[in-house]
Structure 1
Amino acid sequence: MNVRKLKSGVAAILVAGLSMSMFACGEKETSSYKSLDSATREEVAQIASADDRLTGELENKTIKWMSNWDINPDGTGKNTPIELAIFQERYGGQVEYHMIDWSTRYDSLANAINGDEGIDFFPASDLDAFPRGAIRGMFVPVDDYIDYSTPLWSDVKQANDMMLWNGKHYVIVNQVTGDKCAVIYNRKTVEEAGLEDPAALYKKGEWTWDAFQKMLTKFVDPDEGFYGIDGWWFESGLSATCGVPYVGLKDGKLVNNLKDPAIERVQNWMYDLYTTNCVAIGVGDFGWTAQPTYIKEGKTMFYPCGLWAMYCSADQWQNNFGEDAFFVPMPKDPNSSEYYIPCGLDGYVMVKGGKNPQGVAKFAECKRLTLLNERAAELGEEQMFDDYGWTQEMVDMKKSMDELALANPYFDFYTGITPDITNILDSNENGIRASSKGTPWSESVSAVYAQIDAFLKDVNDHPVSDTVKTE
């Protein structure tokens, strides 16, 4: 089905989550540099001039973007994003790309700041920039340039207020997304196993931990080559469903929640999944490497992963997951009154020493307009979604996941503070993955709780650095 004809409301929710989609699914390279066709460009110009939510002018029309991916059209064949086209047409703006390697991006940023290169903005979508960048003196508050109480920002004000640090907003959250971690599966495998489709269970309000585990226990048989949960993202994905982050933010202070009963409950459940062979990695002949193609081959039931794995051409995602691949949100915690899922975000942070913060604010407003202006949303959907081979049902499921995320925003800050905290809590030894690898949560908490407490106290006592600190 051609998703070009879907309602613009669906498109508006989907567009923002796809700005980085062109480097997903194996980063397929082409030599094509695309630009908008003349008719689309003309329509964008009309939108940009007619919508009164965009105000003022820009004296400095260039904003400097530092990232491992380009907002502009590039050699991947990516077209001009609608928000960039609006920025160009309304303000005469342009984005100057400063390319860096992802693994050393914070060192590169620190060097650029200290060298007075005037980098204006940096991606927040990796969820490791906040509050890390404020703590290290790399980012600056955005409050002087963006008013989150205005109609352009009102629907994401709650999410932006969750990013307050030292009394200031340090993140520009354009959109909360539900695509950070979904349960990818193959419908043919589910049907042949005599099980009910997770999408049907979700529609009935029955997609819970219990349903998830029941499907696994009926399917898994390592001796026969049938496995349960694959991948390296499911622990954080399942953890999010309890609604309590490992490291939260309350009243402007980071909070250690490792002893919270909800965290203990989800960790004990993951330990139970391990003891019943429901976790694929390390079981039987599966090995210690993720095997996404086992979804296509009918050997594995679930592959929890970010939907970036399906933000690519159909032949690419079908190569891993098969023609009958589908996805649903992470299952609901049956003990929670709300349905929490892992939340991603589309957004930016303003860099210390930037020369054009006003330009960044105007570009962010263009992004918001792409979501809120009905025709701009349609153009964004038309531009991006035909290439993925998605069905309307897939798009509707993604929309539903985004609605869940916006209704109950969940952010865990343990990856956005210091590398020490991230390394401890990401470890297989005593971190959040340990229970699914055979270590009881009580042992992990005893081993790391005091360390995490000490790190958080130091950060809370010294929330903002006046000088730029490297890792």
Structure 2
Amino acid sequence: MVMSMAACGDDSGSQGSSGSGSQAESGSQDSSEESSAASDESTQDSGEEASGDEGGEEASGGEEHESAGTVVLHEPKDLGGRTIRIGLWWDEYWDSNYQTLDDVTAAGGSYSNSETMQMKLDKIRDIESRWNCKIEWVNLGWDGITESINTSITAGTPDCDIYLTDPQFGIPAALNGYAQKISSYAPADSDILNDQVVLRPFNVLGSNEYLMCTSDNYIIPSGACYMAYNAKMLDELNLEAPEALAEKGQWDWEKFAEYALACTKDTDGDGNMDTYGYGSVFTDTISAFLASNNAAIANSTTEGLSDSKTVEVFNFLDRLYNVDGSARPYQDDWNNDQLALFQGQVAFSIVRPYMLIDNAPNVDFDIRICPLPVGTSGDGTRMPVILVNSYFIPIGVEDAESVYLVFEEMQNWFDGDTYYRDDPEWFESAFVDLDQVELAYQEGSKTGDDLWNSIPGLDVGAVFYGVYVNKDQTVSQAIESQKQIVQDGLDAAAAGIK
């Protein structure tokens, strides 16, 4: 099964002048936490929007809606009052601690759709009665959840029956053998092994046996990465809209390089460039241009860093940063590099919906999205992988089948009627008009499977820093020095998921 998986690198991996640039090491946590938390606004804001409560309008209970598929309601088992604990790093407000909407608000929670929030609370009551159990979301904090995963599971006594994880620590947990196989606990007629209305497996290096996520992540692409541009800047230069060029098959690397160079200017005549054609954080830059060229570094157990398509990507970036000078010099400051588009310092960048929602209202120009420019070996069908938050049941959890079935029922609070779950209002509010919304869905539906920024130890950032920041290596030298490191990292990862 091919799935569109989710987000260009959320980890900063930002390094100092040493230029090691490892995406999984120092500096990655703070920005990844910030980025993950922000991107999660589309899926879990205020604890209830993970299921699509962003809409604000009451769902219409009087209408009949088409079911997305069949979800089998399994025969319950008496769990003897067991509390099923779900670990995460923020507060959720629909578990056994909350009986009513008033309980939620009294505890400091909020919701934007009272009907769907009540449906969640009602589902908890139903599960408690059917299974004789309790359900508890446990806010372990960002540092606490990684510590819990790395200590309690290895000790054989996991703190939680289920963990919700950011890709930064969820994928390593799966690779390190901390998760039970889905096939070992999910019944043959379970949703995740059939229609996947509620839950889907999350693929890691060809294995979909360990991590799972809610299926709504693949309906509304709120975690997708898009190329965005300053429309005012292009209009002032009489440059045709990139999305219009894309429709005519004319939006490729050459045209992008032409546009980027045209937008690179010394606007105040002081001899220094004030605006550049392109700028973003290095993780998003690498991920986006790899996708645009149908290239991948880590989508299989064989390193793709030295593949000819990947080499083409880094050579093109070398043109932007070192030859044309149309890419903004890397500041090695995560927010500075990531938000340069909103500061009017670059014409093009890579963004996510939450960035547009948070920042676009504060600028005096339209920010529009466009397809990625098609690379030399690309065909316009790929996008960076969308890295969604995912769940796993750790090794050491007893009766994992019952835990899974309770969790499946809980996440099916909408009883298979996805009308209640899938509210696109938050996502669509990121874009300036309906044409842009349509384009966002179109681009967000494209597939991606390169996990280079989520597997520990690959250190792809060293190539970026060596060639474009420190400028002490050529592309070929940087790739040659790193390709075995990437292969060793993939070998270690593959060993962990066998």
Please indicate, yes or no, whether the TM-score normalized by the shorter chain is above 0.5. Answer: yes
**Tell me, what secondary structure is at the counterpart of 1:259?**
coil
Q: Deviation per CA, 1:18-44: give whole Å up to 9, x if none.
A: xx99942899xxx98989899947839
2:196 aligns with: 152
Q: Deviation per CA, 1:190-236: give whole Å up to 9, x if none.
A: 21122112232334443322222221011112535121222212222
CA–CA distance in 2 between the matches of 1:371 and 1:401? 29
Shift of residue 309 of structure 1? 1.1
2:86 aligns with: 65
Please point out which of 454, 459, 463 is paired with 1:431.
Answer: 463
Q: Which moved more, 1:134-143 or 1:265-274?
A: 134-143
**Contact 2:156–2:396 at 8 Å: present in 1 too?**
no
> Structure 1 residues 245, 291: closer, same or farther in 2, change over 3 A?
closer
Q: Which moved more, 1:328-337 or 1:81-90?
A: 81-90
> Structure 1 residues 126, 298: closer, same or farther in 2, change over 3 A?
same
**Contact 2:39–2:352 at 8 Å: present in 1 too?**
no
Shift of residue 246 of structure 1? 1.1
CA–CA distance in 2 between the matches of 1:77 and 1:324? 31
Gaps spanning 5+ residues in structure 1: where? 1-12, 465-471
Matched, 1:242 2:275: no
**Contact 1:140–1:170 at 8 Å: present in 2 too?**
yes
Structure 1 runs of 4+ with >6 Å offset: 31-39, 44-51, 80-84, 286-289, 368-372
Please point out which of 374, 378, 381 is paired with 1:336.
Answer: 378
2:130 aligns with: none
**Tell me, what secondary structure is at the counterpart of 1:351?**
coil
Shift of residue 101 of structure 1? 3.9
Root-mean-square deviation over aligned CA pairs: 4.6
CA–CA distance in 1 between the matches of 2:304 and 2:420? 41
Aligned AA (2:286): E
**Contact 2:226–2:371 at 8 Å: present in 1 too?**
yes
Matched, 1:24 2:75: no
2:336 aligns with: 290
2:450 aligns with: 412
CA–CA distance in 2 between the matches of 1:129 and 1:150? 23
Shift of residue 104 of structure 1? 6.1
> Structure 1 residues 291, 22: closer, same or farther in 2, change over 3 A?
closer
CA–CA distance in 1 between the matches of 2:380 and 2:415? 26
CA–CA distance in 2 between the matches of 1:262 and 1:46? 49
Number of equivalent positions: 418
**Contact 1:67–1:122 at 8 Å: present in 2 too?**
yes
Please point out which of 149, 163, 176 is paired with 1:122.
Answer: 163
Aligned AA (1:270): L
TM-score (normalised: structure 2): 0.68
2:139 aligns with: 99
Aligned AA (1:213): A
Matched, 1:201 2:250: no
Structure number having the greater helix percentage: 1
1:220 aligns with: 264
**Contact 1:241–1:332 at 8 Å: present in 2 too?**
yes
**Tell me, what secondary structure is at the counterpart of 2:354?**
helix
Gaps spanning 5+ residues in structure 2: where? 8-33, 95-103, 128-133, 267-271
**Tell me, what secondary structure is at the counterpart of 1:352?**
coil
**Contact 2:231–2:365 at 8 Å: present in 1 too?**
no
> Structure 1 residues 436, 461: closer, same or farther in 2, change over 3 A?
same
**Tell me, what secondary structure is at the counterpart of 1:238?**
helix
2:420 aligns with: 376
CA–CA distance in 2 between the matches of 1:180 and 1:50? 23
CA–CA distance in 2 between the matches of 1:282 and 1:345? 24
Aligned AA (1:330): L
> Structure 1 residues 343, 385: closer, same or farther in 2, change over 3 A?
closer
Aligned AA (1:351): P
Kindly, what percent of the aligned residue pairs are identical? 16
Aligned AA (1:55): L
**Contact 1:181–1:330 at 8 Å: present in 2 too?**
no
Shift of residue 169 of structure 1? 1.1
2:349 aligns with: 303
Please point out which of 396, 417, 433 is paired with 2:438.
Answer: 396
Aligned AA (1:209): W
**Contact 1:142–1:170 at 8 Å: present in 2 too?**
yes
CA–CA distance in 1 between the matches of 2:117 and 2:83? 12
Q: Deviation per CA, 1:268-289: give whole Å up to 9, x if none.
A: 1111111211221349xx9997
> Structure 1 residues 436, 162: closer, same or farther in 2, change over 3 A?
same
